[in-house]
């Protein structure tokens, strides 16, 4: 198992060394991002999508109006971690991040405006003062320090159902210029790297990278590919059995076709995973099994691109759709990646 071997060896060249493509997190970012906090997805049919997320997966509906539905996980006290909006079906509309304070919000506005990037105040139900920006790669982002506090359902066990999703955990993005996107997120905004894949070349190039602010494996991961596109939204569940139960429920309540990949376990992140496609094709990951990364001397764990246990510690090979398909961001034309994508070889 070469991946384990890599880990044992400590992950190859040190971050920031001449031979590493990894960029260290800046210790002094212009504003303090706490974590990924919500994702907004465009859907064709609100009721069908609500059925998938509420009846199929066990998310809690906080608010439903004519154009949008706001959902959250069972442990979440904030208003929403997922917004479904009836427009631009199949597109990802926005990624939302928590920042530390209102001051951080103002600093973020100044930061993006100084770069000449769109940065405007916006209103979204359930969120405090909110800044909408477009980052240098075209990702539509929201930043805010607070959400309306809702009753958490953590101890309302009578309402647990299917996957019993607890909370949003991360987003995974296809990046056409992965190195630059990583450098922006780590070097500028202070995301720390937990794991990465690079090529087996004399001067290795980054193929994929997992970065976080909140102290576990990721808030945002990047994969080389036609991008920017959203590969998936990851939701955290309590354990492997909650994922098995979700398979049982989905397969016998009309959602069998939603299962795209898994269950299985990734080498990277150690995630026990299940990938689903929602009614508009948005990809959802249910996962459990990652670990703490908050120590200051944490060294990123490196994997080689051709390590078969990187992607799949065990499990069936991923289907072609999993490698190739993703949700475009509304109004943003994705580009071919700078590094050619290898043909998928099932193992």
The residues in 146-205 that bind its own copies, with binding defined as CB under 8 A, are: 146-147, 149, 151-152, 154-158, 160, 162, 166-167
Q: Which two tokens stand for residue 125?
A: 């139900």
CB of 11 or CB of 228, closer to its own copies = 11
- Going by the DSSP 8-state scheme, the letter that residue 114 receives in this structure is H
- What whole-number distance in Å separates Cα of residue 346 and Cα of residue 189? 36
To the nearest whole angstrom, how small is the minimum distance from the Cβ of residue 347 to its own copies?
10
Q: Which of 215, 281, 334, 337 binds its own copies (CB under 8 A)?
A: 215
Stretch that binds its own copies, among 39-47, 187-195, 255-263, 277-285 (CB under 8 A): 255-263
Q: Are 270 and 257 in contact (CB under 8 A)?
A: no
Q: Stretches 84-92, 118-126, 188-196, 242-250: which one binds its own copies (CB under 8 A)?
A: 242-250
The nearest distance, CB 137 to its own copies, in angstroms, is 26
Q: Which of residues 266-285 bind its own copies (CB under 8 A)?
A: 267, 270, 272
Minimum Å distance from CB 138 to its own copies?
27
Q: Please state the closest distance from residue 10 (CB atom) to its own copies, in A.
A: 6
Tell whether residue 244 is a contact of its own copies (CB under 8 A). yes
State which of residues 2, 7, 89, 134 lies at the interface with its own copies (CB under 8 A): 7
Question: Under the criterion CB under 8 A, does residue 256 sit at the interface with its own copies?
Answer: yes
- The reply on whether position 8 binds its own copies by CB under 8 A is yes
CA angle 102, 105, 110 (to 5 degrees): 135
Question: Does 16 help bind its own copies (rule: CB under 8 A)?
Answer: no
Q: Per CB under 8 A, which of residues 89..148 are in contact with its own copies?
A: 98-101, 128, 145-147
- Using the rule CB under 8 A, is 1 a contact of its own copies? yes
**Max alpha carbon distance in the chain (Å)?**
56
**Shortest reach from residue 77's CB to its own copies, in Å:** 7
Q: Which of 187, 180, 276 lies closest to 228 in space, CA to CA? A: 180
Q: Using CB under 8 A, which of the segments 6-14, 129-137, 225-233, 332-340 binds its own copies?
A: 6-14
The residue with tokens 């990046």 is 175
User: Do 172 and 180 meet the contact criterion of CB atoms below 8 Å apart?
Assistant: no
Taking CB under 8 A as the rule, which mask of x and - marks residues 286-315 in contact with its own copies?
---x-xx-xxxxxx--------xx---xxx
> Rounded to an integer, what distance in angstroms lies between the CA atom of residue 130 and that of residue 152?
22
Least Å distance, CB 24 to its own copies, is: 13
Residues between 29 and 88 with contacts to its own copies, criterion CB under 8 A? 34-35, 55, 75, 77-78
Listed in order, strand segments (DSSP E) in 86-153 are: 92-99, 119-122, 130-134, 140-144
Give min distance, CB of 253 to its own copies, in A.
4
Rounded CA separation 196/185 (Å)? 14
Long-range (24+ apart) CB contacts under 8 A made by 338-345 are 338/176, 338/177, 338/178, 338/179, 339/178, 339/199, 339/205, 339/207, 339/224, 341/224, 341/225, 341/226, 342/305, 344/318, 344/320
Residue 79's nearest CA partner among 155, 156, 153, 149 is 149
């Amino acid at each position: 198992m070469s991946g384990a071997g890599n880990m044992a060896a400590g992950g190859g060249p040190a971050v920031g060394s001449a031979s590493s493509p990894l960029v260290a997190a800046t210790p002094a970012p212009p504003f303090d991002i706490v974590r990924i906090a919500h994702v907004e997805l465009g859907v064709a049919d609100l009721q069908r999508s609500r059925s998938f997320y509420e009846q199929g997966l066990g998310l809690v509906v906080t608010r439903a109006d004519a154009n949008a539905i706001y959902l959250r996980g069972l442990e979440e006290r904030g208003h929403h971690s997922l917004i479904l909006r009836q427009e631009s079906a199949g597109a990802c509309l926005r990624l939302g991040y928590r920042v530390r304070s209102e001051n951080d919000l103002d600093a973020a506005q100044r930061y993006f405006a100084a770069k000449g990037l769109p940065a405007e105040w916006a209103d979204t139900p359930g969120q405090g003062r909110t800044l909408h920006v477009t980052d240098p790669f075209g990702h539509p982002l929201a930043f805010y320090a607070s959400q309306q506090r809702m009753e958490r359902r953590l101890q309302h066990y009578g309402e647990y159902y299917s996957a019993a999703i607890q909370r949003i955990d991360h987003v995974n993005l296809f990046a056409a210029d992965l190195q630059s996107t990583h450098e922006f997120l780590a070097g500028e905004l202070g995301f720390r790297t937990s794991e990465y894949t690079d090529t087996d070349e004399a001067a290795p190039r980054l193929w994929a990278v997992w970065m976080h602010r909140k102290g576990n494996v990721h808030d945002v991961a990047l994969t080389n590919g036609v991008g920017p596109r959203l590969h998936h939204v990851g939701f955290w569940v309590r354990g492997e059995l909650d994922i098995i139960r979700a398979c049982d429920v989905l397969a016998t309540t009309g959602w069998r076709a939603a299962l795209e990949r898994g269950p299985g376990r990734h080498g990277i992140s150690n995630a026990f995973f299940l990938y689903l496609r929602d009614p508009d094709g948005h990809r959802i990951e249910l996962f459990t099994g990652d670990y703490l990364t908050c120590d200051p001397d944490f060294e990123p764990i490196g994997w080689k691109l051709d390590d078969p246990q990187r992607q799949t510690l065990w499990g069936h090979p991923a289907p072609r759709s999993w490698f190739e398909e993703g949700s475009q961001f509304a109004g943003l034309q994705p580009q071919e990646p700078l590094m050619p994508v290898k043909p998928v070889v099932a193992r």
